[in-house]
């Protein structure tokens, strides 16, 4: 049985954290908006880090965050000089509509969910990966709205599905679509896993269907293109019951004071649309060779105001972070 995790053709390019898809690459990062250089009006406290000036800045977005975090002692906002510099840097998330009646969807994962149990053989899998799929003779009608979202047609969804496949010349046969129906699927957003409207495409000799997001683009935020940052990268976050205690999680070195251990702190810049976070590592370098797996680490900070509809962004890559609610303490 050729399951989802076998023969992964490539890593998911849209997310530099190298999350992998089930056998084929999909990058749904929409092109970032050009000319987005308006200063986002960072307000509230700048969480100053003791490592100011020590980090290597590799992108303009990281520079914006670190520059704001490294203002003069006692300052609660960037200096005039810093603000002038910040105003010339792109602030990718500054246009997020936090006051919208229905918060736009922000995706941190693919908009197509592949067949859960994989494929019966490599030939079918390659055909699926490369989009060698014969469209049905007709597409069924569907609703224009579901779960409060406008819905695209099955025909449009099939075109979107085909656009995410890898163009190649290895496939020597086509998969046939045996049925199309409207339903739902679980997709990864910046507010965790969400069950959303989807078009389900079934294929001959494939047990499970592919689920294609059916929500129209008007309800999806046009996320900025990911930047090539440097680790540690934020994997996800938890927000406390008060909507202000934010715990950021990431892979890092084990805690301790000996060789191959590290401590971490968090730089945070808060705006009306975004909570930008950057993790900084203080390693206990002793010259030892530290070939070891990553350990799940976390750092907690308290926001100046409730998170609300704002987006938490990993400043290292300018990508949205999935935030879910913490379990209340007992």
Looking at the predicted structure, is the pLDDT value of residue 1 above 50? no
Band (140; pLDDT cuts 50, 70, 90): very high
Q: Is 321 or 63 the better-scoring residue by pLDDT? A: 321
pLDDT average, residue stretch 62-66: 38
User: Domain residues of the chain, as ranges?
Assistant: 60-100+224-325, 112-219
Looking at the predicted structure, is the pLDDT value of residue 74 above 80? no
Peptide bond into 37 cis (omega under 30): no
pLDDT of residue 47: 37
pTM of the model: 0.72
For the chain, give the mean pLDDT: 74
294 Cβ contact list (under 8 Å, min separation 6) = 251, 252, 253
Q: Phi and psi dihedrals of 260, rounded to 5?
A: 70, 20
What are 113's two structure tokens?
């969910």
pLDDT average, residue stretch 273-290: 83
Tell me how crowded residue 254 is: count the other CB atoms within 10 A of its CB. 14
β-partners of residue 64 are none
pLDDT digits (tens, 9 = 90+) for 83-119: 332 333 345 688 899 999 999 999 999 999 999 999 9
Q: Are 82 and 67 in contact (CB under 8 A)?
A: yes
Band (209; pLDDT cuts 50, 70, 90): very high
181 Cβ contact list (under 8 Å, min separation 6) = 140, 199, 200, 202
Out of 87-101, 223-237, 283-297, least confident range? 87-101
Q: Which H or E run contains 312?
A: strand 311-314
Looking at the predicted structure, is the pLDDT value of residue 44 above 80? no
pLDDT digits (tens, 9 = 90+) for 170-179: 657 889 999 9
pLDDT digits (tens, 9 = 90+) for 149-160: 999 999 999 999
């Amino acid at each position: 049985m050729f399951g989802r995790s076998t023969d992964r053709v490539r890593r998911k390019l849209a997310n530099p954290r190298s999350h992998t898809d089930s056998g084929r690459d999909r990058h749904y990062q929409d092109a970032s908006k050009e000319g987005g250089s308006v200063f986002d009006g960072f307000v509230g406290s700048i969480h100053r880090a003791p490592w100011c000036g020590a980090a290597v800045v590799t992108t303009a977005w990281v520079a914006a965050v670190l520059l704001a975090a490294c203002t003069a002692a006692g300052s609660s906002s960037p200096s005039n000089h810093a603000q002038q510099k910040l105003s010339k840097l792109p602030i990718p998330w500054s246009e997020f509509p936090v006051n919208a009646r229905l918060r736009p969807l922000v995706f941190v994962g693919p908009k197509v969910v592949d067949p859960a149990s994989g494929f019966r053989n490599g030939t079918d899998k390659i055909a699926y990966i490369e989009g060698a799929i014969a469209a049905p003779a007709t597409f069924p009608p569907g609703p224009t709205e579901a779960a409060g979202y406008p819905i695209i047609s099955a025909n449009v969804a099939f075109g979107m599905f085909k656009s995410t496949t890898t163009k190649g010349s290895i496939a020597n046969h086509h998969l046939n679509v045996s049925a199309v129906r409207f339903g739902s699927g679980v997709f990864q957003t910046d507010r965790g896993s969400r069950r959303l409207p989807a078009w389900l495409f079934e294929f001959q000799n494939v047990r499970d269907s592919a689920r294609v997001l059916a929500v129209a683009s008007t309800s999806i935020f046009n996320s900025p293109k990911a930047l090539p940052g440097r680790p540690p990268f934020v994997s996800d976050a938890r927000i406390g019951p008060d909507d202000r205690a934010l715990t950021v999680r990431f892979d890092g070195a084990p805690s301790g004071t000996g060789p191959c251990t590290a401590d971490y702190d968090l730089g945070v810049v808060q705006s009306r649309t975004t909570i930008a976070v950057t993790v900084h590592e203080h390693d206990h370098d002793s010259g030892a060779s530290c070939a070891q797996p990553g350990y799940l680490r976390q750092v907690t900070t308290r926001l100046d105001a409730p998170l609300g509809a704002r987006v938490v962004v990993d400043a290292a890559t300018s990508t949205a972070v999935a935030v879910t609610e913490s379990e209340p303490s007992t």
